[in-house]
Amino acid sequence: MLKLTNPFLEEIKECQKRDQKLMEKLVFINEGKETDFGVDENGVVRYRGR
């Protein structure tokens, strides 16, 4: 199966890993406590789906 990657999205994911506030939000997302933030199918943290 062929998988296409977007270098821009990969860069966003890597930068998000270095953002302490986003990592705190990720903990809340995983615990089901965060409703405004979520993780999309590419692993990118998004605010209200944006």
User: Is 1 inside a domain boundary?
Assistant: no
User: Is 11 inside a domain boundary?
Assistant: yes
User: Is 22 inside a domain boundary?
Assistant: yes
Give the pLDDT of the chain (50 residues) as one tens digit per residue.
776 778 999 999 999 999 999 999 999 999 999 889 999 998 999 999 88
Total-model pTM: 0.74
Residue 6 confidence (pLDDT): 86
- Please tell me the distance from the alpha carbon of residue 18 to that of residue 24, in angstroms, as a whole number: 11
Residue 5 confidence (pLDDT): 78
Closest listed residue to residue 6, CA positions, set 47, 41, 49: 41
Residue 11 confidence (pLDDT): 94
The answer for residues whose C-beta is within 8 angstroms of residue 8's C-beta and 6 or more apart is none
User: Is 35 inside a domain boundary?
Assistant: yes
User: Is 38 inside a domain boundary?
Assistant: yes
User: Is 14 inside a domain boundary?
Assistant: yes
Residue 22 confidence (pLDDT): 93
User: Is 12 inside a domain boundary?
Assistant: yes
Domain with 36 in it? 7-47
Residue 21 confidence (pLDDT): 94
- The residue behind tokens 């789906």 is 49
**In the chain, how many domains are there?**
1
User: Is 17 inside a domain boundary?
Assistant: yes
